[in-house]
């Protein structure tokens, strides 16, 4: 009933479900692109491309010092830059936008749940193909994605280190005990507000406002020659 009464929600539903499907991501410079946000940082915004229903990373030209204001499951419209910069072998699914994207609304429900289930990273070895927190940039060949949507088999647990103020996510996956620096602003604000050093299980779900089912993990741009794993989103089932 709420959807019927809300014209904006109906418009978003029509846009998402009525997007003409294509087998591959549109890489035509200057093209309009539409995405469902999974996680967003200053470096990049990870979206489900609505046309191809695949994961893409958008490099957005945020002004210096500006923190991304995009949230999980926002529907956004962007324009590809004249040079989309497809030459990064560590981030093969990344493209560059010409300007800041436009937020159109938000979208959740059965369709999103199906997308996330299908896009979840299969259990085929260590996260991103290597163990440890980072790998040298020169080792990447563009053969592996720089995004992994992980359905954790243990956790996740959110932790805050008081010595440096950093927030970390711990979870189990494929037999590994994984610790990643957390860049999810909602998760960071949540644990700061509780003034707790650790949150997990029902306490974490209550604090976040949802039960985290997926851990969105990404590889960073090179830092001193190495690309680092981080958590850029804690996501519900959809």
* Residue 3: pLDDT over 80: no
Confidence class for position 1, pLDDT limits 50, 70, 90: very low
Q: What local confidence, expressed as pLDDT, does residue 7 receive? A: 84
Q: What is the dihedral of CA 18, 23, 29, 31, to 10 degrees?
A: -10
Q: What is the pLDDT of residues 7-48, one digit of tens each?
A: 888 999 999 988 989 999 999 999 999 999 999 999 999 999
Q: What is the dihedral of CA 177, 178, 179, 184, to 10 degrees?
A: -140
Give alpha helix (H) positions in 95-184.
110-119
Confidence class for position 178, pLDDT limits 50, 70, 90: very high
Confidence class for position 195, pLDDT limits 50, 70, 90: very high
Q: What local confidence, expressed as pLDDT, does residue 4 receive? A: 55
* Residue 123: pLDDT over 50: yes
Q: What angle do CA 198, 203, 209 make, to 5 degrees?
A: 115
Residue environment code for 107-118, b if the CB has 16+ CB neighbours within 10 A, otherwise e: beeeebeebbee
Q: Please state, for a pLDDT cut of 90, what percent of the chain lies above it.
A: 89
Q: What is the pLDDT of residues 65-92, one digit of tens each?
A: 888 999 999 999 999 999 999 999 999 9
CATH topology of domain 2-107: OB fold (Dihydrolipoamide Acetyltransferase, E2P) (2.40.50)
| Separation CA 55–CA 59 (nearest Å) | 13
Domains in the chain: boundaries? 2-107, 112-235
* Residue 122: pLDDT over 50: yes
Could you give the count of Cα atoms lying within 13 Å of 173 in the half-sphere of its Cβ?
28
Q: Please state, for a pLDDT cut of 70, what percent of the chain lies above it.
A: 98
Q: What is the average pLDDT value for the chain, to the nearest integer?
A: 94
* Residue 5: pLDDT over 80: no
* Mean pLDDT computed over 91-110: 97
| Rounded-to-5 percentages of helix, strand, coil across the chain | 20, 35, 45
Q: Are 74 and 103 in contact (CB under 8 A)?
A: yes
In the chain, the DSSP E strands lie at: 32-40, 45-49, 54-59, 74-79, 94-96, 102-106, 134-136, 147-151, 154-160, 167-173, 176-182, 198-200, 214-219, 226-235
* Residue 151: pLDDT over 80: yes
In this structure, the chain runs to a length of 238
Of 216, 207, 208, 213, the C-alpha closest to 183 is: 216
């Amino acid at each position: 009933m709420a959807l019927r009464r809300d014209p904006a929600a109906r418009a978003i539903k029509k846009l998402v479900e009525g997007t003409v499907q294509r087998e591959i991501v549109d890489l035509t410079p200057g093209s309009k692109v539409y995405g469902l946000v999974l996680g967003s940082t200053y470096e990049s915004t990870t979206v489900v491309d609505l046309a191809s229903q695949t994961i893409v990373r958008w490099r957005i030209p945020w002004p210096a010092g500006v923190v991304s204001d995009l949230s999980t499951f926002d529907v956004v419209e962007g324009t590809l830059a004249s040079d989309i910069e497809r030459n990064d072998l560590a981030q093969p699914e990344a493209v560059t936008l010409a300007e800041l994207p436009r937020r159109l609304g938000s979208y959740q429900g059965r369709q999103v749940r199906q997308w996330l289930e299908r896009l979840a990273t299969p259990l085929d070895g260590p996260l991103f193909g290597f163990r440890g927190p980072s790998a040298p940039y020169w080792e990447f060949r563009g053969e592996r994605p720089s995004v992994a949507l992980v359905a954790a088999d243990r956790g996740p647990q959110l932790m805050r280190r008081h010595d440096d103020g950093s927030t970390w996510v711990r979870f189990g996956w494929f037999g590994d005990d994984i610790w990643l620096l957390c860049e999810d602003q909602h998760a960071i604000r949540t644990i700061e507000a509780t003034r707790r050093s650790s949150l997990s299980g029902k306490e974490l779900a209550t604090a976040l406002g949802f039960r985290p089912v997926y851990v969105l993990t990404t590889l960073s741009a090179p830092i001193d020659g190495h690309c680092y794993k981080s958590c850029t989103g804690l996501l519900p089932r959809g």
